Amino acid sequence: MRPLEGRLALVTGASRGIGAATALALGKAGAHVVLTARTAGGLEEVEEKIHNLGGTATIAPLDLTENDSIARLATAIAGRWQALDLLVLNAAMLGTLTPVPAIDAKELAKLLTLNVTAQQALLAAFDPMLRASDDAKVIGLTSSVAQRPRAYWGAYGASKAALETLLLAYGEEMKAISKVRVAIVDPGATATAMRARAYPGEDAATIQQPADVAAAILRFIAEPFPTGFRFRVAGSARDQVEAV
């Protein structure tokens, strides 16, 4: 079954982890997937896997924090397609886990640029194409620390809290004038490179894998959901206190 046949999806941070797994799932389901990340080699590997599954994809290596990169991407995509049906905002950086008084100002600015400013720029750039879709969905990846602050996670948690506010506000703005619906997905404890940085020494086999999160996202978007819906993938007692 290819329930997303004929649909166009854009996935950020698609060269590895949850982004790559989600792109693979969407491609297998029939969507044409535009893959973005800084690493061209990783994107090429994901693109090849999608093709091997019978899907189609286009890679767009870029740094979302560069001044005009998002605008150039939007112009290129709009030149080939009329509408964007699914936007998965996955790209993010963790930053250094440190007490709030010790947060480095330059690193915080870089973190907020990617985790917040670039996300708003993506919404702004692709808003016309999302509105042109008859069933557009925007999925933003978040973390439990956005709503439950944790010691040493202040910078990352603040960026995710800001992202959630932006997404939910956009959803409220769109629900009466378009078919765009917005949802926030908290993947829970997942074996990613980011989590490995936060929890060195953890056995990745003891937590869920990126493919598990991707499968849950695919099931989620297949059904109607109200804009502003928040979805947590993991549900065990341990996951309820994990951040990434």
Active-site residue, from 152, 156, 170, 199: 156
- The residue type found at 49 is K
- The residue type found at 53 is L
Contacts within 8 Å (CB) and 24+ apart, 117-120: 117/65, 118/64, 118/65, 118/70, 118/91, 119/89, 119/163, 119/166, 119/167, 120/166
Residue with tokens 């004929």: 6
Identify whether 199 is a catalytic site residue: no
Pairwise CA distance, residues 65 & 111, whole Å: 10
Per the structure block, which two tokens stand in for 19?
Answer: 């982004």
- Could you tell me the sign of the dihedral formed by the alpha carbons of 145, 150, 156, 159, in that order? positive
| Residues classed as catalytic | 156
